[in-house]
Every structure is written in C-alpha cells, then in structure tokens.
Amino acid sequence: EAGVAQSPRYKIIEKRQSVAFWCNPISGHATLYWYQQILGQGPKLLIQFQNNGVVDDSQLPKDRFSAERLKGVDSTLKIQPAKLEDSAVYLCASSLTRLANQETQYFGPGTRLLVL
C-alpha cells in the first residue's frame, strides 16, 4: 500500500513570497489533515478535510494560509505572503475515519519550509 505522498520535500523562499505544498493521501482515505510542526514542538493541526469539505480550520491563519481539496483526493496548502515565523515542517496525514477510539492517522514525510 502506497503511503501519503508530499511534495516538494524542501523549499526555501524569501519573506513575502508565496509557496504551495501538495499532498496525495492514501487511496480511499476520506479524511486529510495538514499539520504545522515548528522546530522543537509537536505538530499542530492547521486544517482537516472530510472528503472535500472542511471540518476544522480553527487554527489556520486565514489571512495568509489557504487550503483546498478538490474532488476529495489531493490537497494543496498555500501561504501568501510568507513570514519568517512560517518556517516549519508541514505534515500531511490521512485516515479512514472509523470509530473514534480506533482512529489512526498516517503521515507523509513532510515539506520543510525555510523563510529567509
């Protein structure tokens, strides 16, 4: 079974530039998550999709971050304009969303973003 795919793996940009990340979840997984992991911290959920609808985006900085999941499969996360504090690893995860106590999320390798 193929895992969660993410690209690019690394990205270096200057502040105020734009950047986009792509995620392809495990086939058949209805739920997709984007997490932000700042160095030395645990991952923090930015946005959660169920099929192509948003379930939770309460921690997404909507003035600069946007995400979409067209056709309920692939997803893109965009930052425009980027700030220095956006330097982090952006992790994508997917799950089947069965019973809550059995919920397991599968993570991609992440995209490491450095904003200069």
Partner 1 sequence: KQEVTQIPAALSVPEGENLVLNCSFTDSAIYNLQWFRQDPGKGLTSLLLIQSSQREQTSGRLNASLDKSSGRSTLYIAASQPGDSATYLCAVISGGSNYKLTFGKGTLLTVNP
Chain residues in the site for partner 1 (CB under 8 A): 4, 31, 33, 40-45, 48, 55-56, 91, 93, 95, 97, 100-110, 112
Return the SS3 of 42: coil
Q: With CA atoms as reference, report the closest residue to 80 among 8, 17, 22.
A: 17
Nearer to partner 1, 17 or 105 (CB): 105
Query: By CB neighbour count within 10 A (0-12 exposed, 13-18 middle, 19+ buried), where does 41 fall?
Result: exposed
Closest approach, Cβ 81 to partner 1, in A, equals 26
* Least Cβ distance, residue 87 to partner 1 (angstroms): 15
User: 88-95 and 19-24 as β-strands: parallel, antiparallel, unpaired?
Assistant: unpaired
Residue 17 C-beta-side C-alpha neighbours within 13 Å: 12
Q: Minimum Å distance from CB 93 to partner 1?
A: 8
**Interatomic CA distance for residues 25 and 48, integer angstroms:** 13
CB closer to partner 1 out of 54 and 84: 54
Residue closer to partner 1, measured from CB, 70 or 100 = 100
CB of 40 to partner 1, least distance (A): 7
Measured from the CB atom, the residue of 7 and 16 that comes closer to partner 1 is 7
